[in-house]
Structure 1
Amino acid sequence: MFVLYAGVMLLILVTVGIYINSQVSRLLQSNAEQHMDNTAVQAIANVELLMKQIDTFSSQVATNAMVQALLQDSYLGKRAGFDQLQLLQQEVRKLEAYQQGIRAIEIYNLAHESYLPLGDERLEERYDEEWVQQADKLAGRLVWATYSEDYPDSLVTMRNIRLMNQSFQHVGYLVVHVDLSLFDLPALTNTRRGDQSDYVWLTDSLGHVIFTNTGHALDLPMATGALDVVDIEGERYFNVKRSLSLTGWELSILTPVRKATEGLALLRSTILIAFLASSVLFLILSYLIAERISRPILQLIRAMHGARLGGLKPIEAKSNTIELAELNHTYNQMVDSLQALIQVVYEKEILQSKTELKALQAQIHPHFLFNTLEAFYWELEEQGQDELAEIVVAMSGVFRYVITKQDSDQWVTVGDELEHAERYLRIMKMRLMDRFAWEIQCDETSRQVPIPKLMIQPIIENAIEHGIERSMNRGKLVIRVSHIAGPAVADAGPAHASEVEAAAAGDDPARASEVEAVATGAGPVHASEVEAAGAVAETLPADVVAGAVPVGADELEIAVIDNGPGFTSDRLHKLMHELAQGASHLHDTQEGHLGVGLKNTHQRLKLYYGSAHRGLDIVSSQQETRVGFRIPRYRREEQG
């Protein structure tokens, strides 16, 4: 087994070594080519930078104030005097002192007469007429003339001189001789002058050699692309060729292939030595691993099998090897954890059985309550107490609606909610007698809209307890269900506390007494409420549980309106603040009780319709209080 394993690993090492040698060789050659290409790009950039410097310098000379003035006078027919030309020469020499590589500067007027240097030689007598025409064609831009044997040590550049203050009128010519030494390509390409293995050529657009380090002993070989291989005197060279965008000149750099790939032989030797050394070391380590780890691991496996047959027990095997000792320790920890989990599962099963038993026992109490109420009803019927009998029926309906509905029936219709509210209001009517009247306004279509159970009753209880019962007048409560066509109105959120305080502190008493606000409650509910809502949501269709009312959808607005005294400014502000804070409990006062009821209803709306739902709306004045909310008019699969 060990021999097979060692043979496979040696085969893998050989394959990896061959692959690495191939890839690294290719990488070295690619890096060499990339290096040469970068060298050419750097040299091109340096040459173009020098050209731009010359262009900037010639532009400074052409726009010099004295040059402009003298050529403007010449254009207007006034010939410059000798003193003026002397001053012009001094001015140009000052500018020339700030730029290296300038051999000579010449200035001619529009009639090709020489202003600098002083003399009678004309422009067309010194330079090719084609250069002058090209300068006129470029209209003020610098022309780099081709190499000329008449000026073997310099390059000739020429540009028009144009008046800056007269719409760039052409008035003369500027000629600048640039020293060829400025284009020191060995320095620009970071190559050594004594290194004769690399050849460099810089040629103009006509193929004339501007610079070469070959001493004219070699001709520039023809290149077929930006990078190819050419033969020179029996040796192969990489030929990198790049063009200058400003002038069309070309730069060619030739580097011997052997120089670019001289590290390959050393690489192959290094890989071979590393392969042999690693093979020997691998064999030795493999043997040691087999002796010190593999055998103890087999012993550990046998011990674990024995423990499994005899039960889940910690193993007693010990080892002087750190790794094996850690394996033993980890296995023992796993055994302890599994035993603890088994105990937890066992206790949970017992607790679940007790909970199911209590749930079965709890179902007995509603039946006892309903049987008792039914007995009261028949007794009152026999005694002719019809009104009390109807109240008992209403109370039985209220309890049955609240208690006996299962989780799968947590979604009811608006009609079911209104019927439950009507039974509750009948009971309240018996208690309040003539002090209380109520009305339900809802069309038949709206009664079929689905709604979470017990959304309306908490609002009715708050309206009666904190509104109607505190009023000295005859109280009236209206439940109004109305259709709101889309698009939905965006929720403005709860009114800020500063708005309520400003209204209460205002100069208008009527405004202070009729503060209106929209309060949106928020905050956590008890864990039992969240678990119940989650259990309900799991039984609902996905389109209902999805929650938030889509923009543009029709809505139902359900509002409970009472004519009680309403909220004072301070009380409304306090309620709004507590709802916005979302405290887990409120103060044990009437206001606190009111806040808990509204907070729970608001939170249930958020749970059933999504966090984007606007929740409860509260509008209050001294004459009326209105608490309501909006829900989707139709389920989503029914829309559209």
Structure 2
Amino acid sequence: MRPRIRQLNTLRNQMLVGFLFVMMVILAMVGIGTYDSVSTLLKNNAEKQITQTAVQGNRRLEAVLHQIDSLTTQVAANAYVQRLLAGERSGRSSSFAEQQALVPQVTIIPTYASGVHSVELYTYGGRGLYPLGGNELEGKVSREWIAKAQENKGGIVWLGIDPQYPGTVTALRSIHLINLDFAPGGYLLVRLERDVFRIEEPLAGMGEQEISLLVDQQGRRITGSDEGALSEAVRGLMDSPEPVVRMGDRQYVMVKQQSAITGWTLLILTPVSAITEGISVLRTAILASAGIGTLLFILLSFVLSTLITRPILKLIKTMRGARFGVLKPSEQVSSTLEIHELTHSYNGMVEDTNRLIRLVYEKELLQSRTELKALQAQIHPHFLFNTLEALYWSLIDKEEEELAGFVIAMSDLFRYTISGLNKEEWVTLAEELEQVERYMSIMTMRFGDRLDWRILSSPDAAEVKLPKLLIQPLVENAIQHGLESRVGQGSVTVTAVRSPGADRLTITVEDNGGGMDGDSLARLKQALGEGREWSSKGSGLGLANVRRRLRLYYGSGGAGDEEPLEIASRKGRGTVVKLSIPVEKGEQA
């Protein structure tokens, strides 16, 4: 069972499963997002169309209401009507002829407005003036509505469906007498056919599925469908804050528009199924696209995984073979850029690893030799220091203070030089230059006025870390090989400067000694390149030792491909030795 599981748990299978899972997730997210966005867009567009229809229907409704309001205002303000009602208000009953003369004044309402069922004029006491032989107003309208008409102070009041005439809608207006300080003088009652308020324009594409209702404040249907289920649910629809309502087994998108004049509510109900008819086609298209895309993705993933894993398997075989011997580079087996780069990187790693193995071996060998030399140099160091200390106090007693100073300098020089190899392996530039200064002080005692020396260092380089005893061998070479054979005064200058970018430290040791000719300089550089010492006297650590230490501490070439140790010399002019070492990031100013 385990071998089979291991066979299934391969990079190819993992890539196939991973790619397929990612593809399914992406397709699902895109499909769901597209479906949701498009369905929402369809619903929003349908709702906008429904809302626009409702607004248009409400405007037509209010246009009818404004027309009736304007015509009834003309009748109420008519001079003859005002004079006749004023007489009635003062107690004088109008004659039959006067009432008959009201016909042309009142009939302007049905003349200019369609759907007017009847127009009735009443006195303030409620007696009917038009049509002739009319009944009392309270027999037609309740006292509550009469009181509302009076409170409205001449404004028209829409009463809704007339119980006596179910097919009509009633409006009542109180008439105020202009010449009697707008005292109430009578009432004008108008009945309109309910069909006047019917909305006859269904939404485009919705056909007869759309339902429009006009209901009054009490929820009574004025116009619209007379289905029993709708009649019972009208009140609930008016109170529902949701845009989607359910009636029976169907869902409807509902849009409400309330008239500011009458307080009536226009309801437009559109089945959700009619709005989302195109979504099923979209759903089928998305599912079909997802299926085709999945099949193509599986095929492409299989081909891609094969192209990737085949060269990787060959690389694995090469790496396994490296366990039994020296690391060997792998052959280029793929034209794919990434796999080619991987193989190239592996080959570079093999080359670097083999080189590092050699460097570590050389470093261990050098360290062993250095430790041996350090142990040899440290034979009885306390005896040496105690002897120098006794010599110092003896010179102090004899008032030889200059010689005593040289003895102290020599003691510090020995302490700095022969301290344990693993102790204070790295020192600061300031400490190293201080050691050079001690050495130069001792050499001054030897050469006297023949030796002129200077140490120049920028303040920002004082704390830079570097290997111990890196500069002193160069100064020794300058004195022993450059100035010993010179007749006259010689000079040695040590300069330490950080680069403008503060990432490198350059140390220069310059003398004006005898220098070297071109052949000698070439042999010296060749010996340094081969790691050999080249010295006419065979004393000191030597330039080769310094260069070898730079390679071990800072890598090949000291830093990258740059040569860390440069030598320039001219016969009779002197020699210049220059070191260039990198500054660690932690030492940046």
With structure 1 as the length reference, what TM-score do the two structures score? 0.40
With structure 2 as the length reference, what TM-score do the two structures score? 0.43
